[in-house]
Structure 1
Amino acid sequence: MTQEIQLLLSPEEAANETSVQRALERQSGLSAARIGGYHIIRRSIDARGKSVRIQLLLRVFIDEPHQEPGSFDPEWQDVSRAAPVLIVGAGPAGLFAAMRLIALGLKPIVIERGKDVRSRRRDLAHMNRTGSVNPESNYCFGEGGAGTYSDGKLYTRSTKRGDVKRILNLFVHFGANPEILIDAHPHIGTNKLPDIITAMREQIIECGGEVHFDARLTDIHLADNAVQGIRTADGRYFEGHQLILATGHSARDIFTLLDQKGILIEAKPFALGVRIEHPQALIDSIQYHCSYRNEHLPPASYSLVSQENGRGVFSFCMCPGGIIAPASTAPGEVVVNGWSPSKRNNPFANSGTVVAVDLPDFARYGFKGNLAGMYFQQMVEQECFRAGGGGLIAPAQRMVDFANNKSSATLPDCSYIPGITSVSLAAILPKEVSASLRKGVQSFGKKMKGYYTNEAVLVATESRTSSPVRIPRDKDSLEHPQITGLYPCAEGAGYAGGIVSAAIDGERCAEMAAAAQKEVRP
């Protein structure tokens, strides 16, 4: 028989198979002879007490031989002659939608405005080095989407929306470390994702699907409010009656196109603020209650939230051992994001720390209508560019100085390659954001002793937390209420908030598009 048994061990014990075996015998009261073997179902860190513990959930085989978990072996079909479904965007939503369509016997045609994942890397290096932005190839646009070069965290709360395990298994199938299947907060790493994304694309093409790069969507062709096809900037026309629109949270031209065509969209709340960077050693000492983190513990992370002035203030996309990166998608704006390599071995820890903003905030700055949030977001990013002085140099301020409305005479070392310059952030952030953020970092310092320090630097602005626009859809069919065959998908449509949730949403849209395709077949 099998039994699930939970162990709470020191990091050193959890890393040693003999120690785990002995702890298992003590916990279960079973002799070694009766334990046929075990495997780990779940692994997490418990840092609530004075001593950090690793929590392991084991599946133990008692009085029978150990059996490895069943292998995951997806079945692929030849869809080269199958009916097509158009997918705009090759981020996680678009790629997983394409693979789901193949499993369902349909041909995905993926249209991506940016470059393949390898070519993107050169453009990002140029962006960091020169401060110039390629509007079609950057941290947000290109194969793999925003998540590929901004960390690859796979933690999600979207377990009720779809099969998270299948998403993780597919990542492993294409080359991710199998440990993502057991870690409570799985992470692939920006350095590992390009090979995985490339393997996914090659599988789609091998099965008869199509992937087109440097193909920016410029028009959606409709007849009687039904999708007929799409046109790209280079003049190509792709015919199809089902369109999965998975263009991401930064595709402002797509939001504008939909609005100009009278296709229903709506402004939505989002969150805006800064990236906060601490020395990683400081975060380790706070979270692990020790002066030194040994090799058996990963770099520590944190998650913080408070209510200030009636607004939510929260940490977002925390990157242990990470780097702050420029995430601008157009010249004349400064946007920052964060990422970590798989080893998370850089000397800094950074996290987005943001404040909720809503439609009344947009209106106070003169922005109304469906694109009000987008214009508000753009206003702040352009102000940060001006304050930085150009070249993607970002305005920054030490934490305590910011909270006390005091100029920072010097700034600490920072991982942001284009560079930072001392600016009073209260002068460039919306006053509602600045006031709540000021109280927020002080509240966080009370919850996490040592967090509130002038060793930390605030870098502006973290503004692409989610889409400022929602593209509505029916809750059951996932189809746009006005346009037959249009499936607004994932982050850009306002229905996801990370790699896994976007992948799940892509699969769901693929399933609905496939069902609709079957209905219209003779």
Structure 2
Amino acid sequence: MFIKEIILTPEQAFDEEHVLEHVRRNLGLKENSAVRIHKRSIDARSKSVVVRLQVEVFGEEPVPNRINYSIENLPRVSESKKVVIIGAGPAGMFAALRLIELGWKPILLERGKDVRARRRDLADINKKHLVNSESNYCFGEGGAGTYSDGKLYTRSKKRGDIYRILEILVAHGASEDIMIDAHPHIGTNKLPKIIQSIRETIIEKGGEVHFNTKVTGFILENQEMRAVKTEEGNIYNAEAFILATGHSARDIFELLHNTGITIEAKPFALGVRVEHPQHIIDKIQYKCDDRGVYLPASSYALVHQTHFKGKQRGVFSFCMCPGGFIVPSATSNGEVVVNGMSPSRRDSKYANSGIVVAVELEDMEEYAELGPLKGLELQKNIEHKAWEKAGKTQTAPAQRLIDFTQGKVSKDLADTSYQPGLKSVNMEEVLPDFISQRLKEAFVSFGKKMKGYLTNEAQIVGVESRTSSPVRIPRDKITLEHISTKRLFPCGEGAGYAGGIVSAAMDGERCAEQILALYGEGN
């Protein structure tokens, strides 16, 4: 087997049979020679857009399976040692699968509802402006990633086996395209079925999954976690505990702090979501008026270093959703939070992206008396102000993009994908100066980097505040166990150790492996 690199037009690359015939013809291979696409990426750097392909050529060799992960080969663990996992997001679910693979029984406790039942609560947020504090875009089976773009690209290649995570997703129903595309994604319309399939595997192999089960107490003995208590008063004992509650479980951070379990404030990022008509981004990136039917909705990645009052901070795009929607991501009433999502086809007429400012510990000094919870309080105050300024519903504050950079309140707003609606607001009254002034500078810079980006056809929508956790739950770098509480393994985004579906999933697997290394047979 060898790999051949080829460059095709989008139209040529769209037809997989054409691609394989092209390779066979150019290499003088027989018609029945085995050929398979290995990697695929779009290159829009030159005047004409091309698709770069890496193709595996097997000739007459047997073609190996692309997927080696087997659900059928997993052991049954109903009578095995138990690990309680708090949170059924990607970190928790992949930790559960890895524990089963290693012969231990996972017990998943999820405060929210199953992935199908969550939909009714999401509809209530969008249509009735009602926020269920236990079931929303952040809480529930699959976590915040379930109803999102389903991006599977990560730079965290040293943290685990990315290819393995993709294999497991394919084994549970994802398209094999995610193993080929340079920037793979699944789409919010397809992720729920995959999440449900993973849950079914966990239960079939002897694990447990409990929904509407909120952990409200930690039971410690001699600095060891021995059990957790739920809101209903149930006690769950186990050999070890994986805490994978996500970046928005504020009550868990407060519970840890009040119980005397060490946590610490950490930097995060906060800003707005900017929404353009998709055709504007396509025209900038593809350098044409119409991308046609073969090119996908285009995306972008932007970064700018700003200086304000003698301090340098980065401003960068985050979770860019081509052909997507802006959604309300509040986890309680009295706050407005926005996020982005895309269906698998990315066929909305809008493009949106978080544009956020790095928030360092010294930026939180106004709340210094709160110690490790100071970043959380900064988040809360900005989200509450957004709720107040926009009318005390899930209507979001917004401002046209050039108007924002020039300090003008917009007379009207553009059409939007955000279902609860927008209200024209001076966003400087929502965001603190160290955020708003840096955003202004960055948007002007972005307009120079991408001609046409800075336009009043685009608008900013606030606030994008849940980019990552403002709290870190410290753990040993090697064992991944909490630095002072034994048998507790902080995990994923909420603990401060991941930033997306794949990195969270890899962290979940690593925590499962370290539990066995520390507390398995012979230890």
TM-score band by shorter chain is over 0.9
- The partner residue of 2:314 within 305, 312, 315 is 312
Looking at structure 2, the residues matched to 256 and 18 of structure 1 have their Cα atoms a distance apart, in angstroms, of 56
Helix, strand or coil at the partner of 1:199: helix
Structure 2 counterparts to residues 278-289 of structure 1, below 5 A: 278-289=276-287
In the alignment, what sits opposite 1:120?
118
In the alignment, what sits opposite 2:41?
44
Looking at structure 2, the residues matched to 30 and 356 of structure 1 have their Cα atoms a distance apart, in angstroms, of 50
Q: How many Å apart are 1:32 and its aligned residue?
A: 3.3
Residue 411 of structure 1 aligns with an amino acid whose one-letter code is: L
1:377-407 superposed Cα distances (whole Å, 9 cap, x missing partner): 1110000000011221110000000000011
Q: Does 1:153 align with 2:151?
A: yes
Looking at structure 2, the residues matched to 196 and 16 of structure 1 have their Cα atoms a distance apart, in angstroms, of 26
* Kept in 1: contact 2:24–2:31 (CA 8 A): no
Residue 9 of structure 1 aligns with an amino acid whose one-letter code is: L
Quickly say closer, same or farther: Cα 1:406–1:214, change in 2 above 3 A.
same
In the alignment, what sits opposite 2:392?
390
Q: Does 1:79 align with 2:77?
A: yes
Looking at structure 2, the residues matched to 70 and 128 of structure 1 have their Cα atoms a distance apart, in angstroms, of 40
Segments of 4+ moved more than 4 angstroms: 365-368
In the alignment, what sits opposite 1:15?
14
Q: How many Å apart are 1:71 and its aligned residue?
A: 3.8
Quickly say closer, same or farther: Cα 1:473–1:365, change in 2 above 3 A.
closer
Helix, strand or coil at the partner of 1:395: strand
1:309-336 superposed Cα distances (whole Å, 9 cap, x missing partner): 1110000000111010000001100000
Pick which of 392-401 and 512-521 moved more: 512-521
Q: How many Å apart are 1:38 and its aligned residue?
A: 1.2
- The partner residue of 2:403 within 401, 406, 427 is 401
Looking at structure 1, the residues matched to 89 and 183 of structure 2 have their Cα atoms a distance apart, in angstroms, of 21
In the alignment, what sits opposite 2:457?
455
- The partner residue of 1:335 within 337, 340, 358 is 337
Residue 397 of structure 1 aligns with an amino acid whose one-letter code is: Q
In the alignment, what sits opposite 2:168?
170
Q: How many Å apart are 1:66 and its aligned residue?
A: 5.7
Give the CA RMSD over aligned residues: 1.4
Q: How many Å apart are 1:160 and its aligned residue?
A: 1.3
* Kept in 1: contact 2:20–2:36 (CA 8 A): no
Q: Does 1:269 align with 2:267?
A: yes
Helix, strand or coil at the partner of 1:117: coil
In the alignment, what sits opposite 2:239?
241
Q: How many Å apart are 1:112 and its aligned residue?
A: 0.4
Structure 2 counterparts to residues 85-234 of structure 1, below 5 A: 85-234=83-232
- The partner residue of 1:255 within 253, 256, 278 is 253
Q: Does 1:354 align with 2:356?
A: yes
Q: How many Å apart are 1:426 and its aligned residue?
A: 1.1
Q: How many Å apart are 1:36 and its aligned residue?
A: 1.8
Quickly say closer, same or farther: Cα 1:382–1:17, change in 2 above 3 A.
closer
* Kept in 2: contact 1:367–1:375 (CA 8 A): no
1:430-451 superposed Cα distances (whole Å, 9 cap, x missing partner): 1000000001011111111111
Q: How many Å apart are 1:516 and its aligned residue?
A: 2.1
* Kept in 1: contact 2:327–2:418 (CA 8 A): yes
Q: How many Å apart are 1:514 and its aligned residue?
A: 1.8
Quickly say closer, same or farther: Cα 1:37–1:520, change in 2 above 3 A.
closer
* Unpaired segments ≥5 residues, structure 1: none
* Kept in 2: contact 1:7–1:23 (CA 8 A): no
Q: How many Å apart are 1:513 and its aligned residue?
A: 1.0
Looking at structure 2, the residues matched to 191 and 18 of structure 1 have their Cα atoms a distance apart, in angstroms, of 27
1:30-85 superposed Cα distances (whole Å, 9 cap, x missing partner): 313398231111101101111001010111124x2462534424221110000100
Looking at structure 1, the residues matched to 222 and 358 of structure 2 have their Cα atoms a distance apart, in angstroms, of 39
* Kept in 1: contact 2:83–2:106 (CA 8 A): yes
Looking at structure 2, the residues matched to 408 and 34 of structure 1 have their Cα atoms a distance apart, in angstroms, of 62
Residue 226 of structure 1 aligns with an amino acid whose one-letter code is: E
Quickly say closer, same or farther: Cα 1:187–1:367, change in 2 above 3 A.
farther
Report the count of equivalent residues. 517
In the alignment, what sits opposite 1:67?
63
* Kept in 2: contact 1:335–1:461 (CA 8 A): yes
Give the TM-score normalised by structure 1.
0.97
Helix, strand or coil at the partner of 1:238: strand
Q: How many Å apart are 1:427 and its aligned residue?
A: 1.6
In the alignment, what sits opposite 1:290?
288
Q: How many Å apart are 1:248 and its aligned residue?
A: 0.3
Q: How many Å apart are 1:132 and its aligned residue?
A: 1.2
* Kept in 2: contact 1:280–1:320 (CA 8 A): yes
In the alignment, what sits opposite 1:30?
27
In the alignment, what sits opposite 1:423?
425
Residue 58 of structure 1 aligns with an amino acid whose one-letter code is: V
In the alignment, what sits opposite 2:379?
377
Looking at structure 2, the residues matched to 85 and 361 of structure 1 have their Cα atoms a distance apart, in angstroms, of 38
Quickly say closer, same or farther: Cα 1:61–1:139, change in 2 above 3 A.
same
* Kept in 2: contact 1:39–1:68 (CA 8 A): no
Pick which of 346-355 and 12-21 moved more: 12-21
1:130-152 superposed Cα distances (whole Å, 9 cap, x missing partner): 11111000000000000001221
* Kept in 2: contact 1:36–1:66 (CA 8 A): no
Quickly say closer, same or farther: Cα 1:458–1:297, change in 2 above 3 A.
same
* Kept in 2: contact 1:304–1:315 (CA 8 A): yes
Q: How many Å apart are 1:282 and its aligned residue?
A: 1.0
Helix, strand or coil at the partner of 1:160: helix
Helix, strand or coil at the partner of 2:378: helix
Looking at structure 2, the residues matched to 259 and 317 of structure 1 have their Cα atoms a distance apart, in angstroms, of 30
Looking at structure 2, the residues matched to 300 and 70 of structure 1 have their Cα atoms a distance apart, in angstroms, of 28
Looking at structure 1, the residues matched to 69 and 470 of structure 2 have their Cα atoms a distance apart, in angstroms, of 38
Structure 2 counterparts to residues 420-499 of structure 1, below 5 A: 420-499=422-501
Looking at structure 1, the residues matched to 119 and 252 of structure 2 have their Cα atoms a distance apart, in angstroms, of 24
Q: How many Å apart are 1:19 and its aligned residue?
A: 4.3
Pick which of 92-101 and 285-294 moved more: 285-294
Looking at structure 2, the residues matched to 246 and 21 of structure 1 have their Cα atoms a distance apart, in angstroms, of 43
> Identity percentage over the alignment?
56
Give the TM-score normalised by structure 2.
0.96
Looking at structure 1, the residues matched to 380 and 198 of structure 2 have their Cα atoms a distance apart, in angstroms, of 33
Residue 160 of structure 1 aligns with an amino acid whose one-letter code is: K
- The partner residue of 1:301 within 299, 302, 307 is 299
In the alignment, what sits opposite 1:507?
509
Looking at structure 2, the residues matched to 362 and 18 of structure 1 have their Cα atoms a distance apart, in angstroms, of 56
Quickly say closer, same or farther: Cα 1:17–1:485, change in 2 above 3 A.
closer
In the alignment, what sits opposite 1:324?
326
Helix, strand or coil at the partner of 1:118: coil
Looking at structure 2, the residues matched to 438 and 449 of structure 1 have their Cα atoms a distance apart, in angstroms, of 16
Residue 257 of structure 2 aligns with an amino acid whose one-letter code is: D
Helix, strand or coil at the partner of 1:396: strand
1:91-130 superposed Cα distances (whole Å, 9 cap, x missing partner): 0000000000000000000000001111101110011111
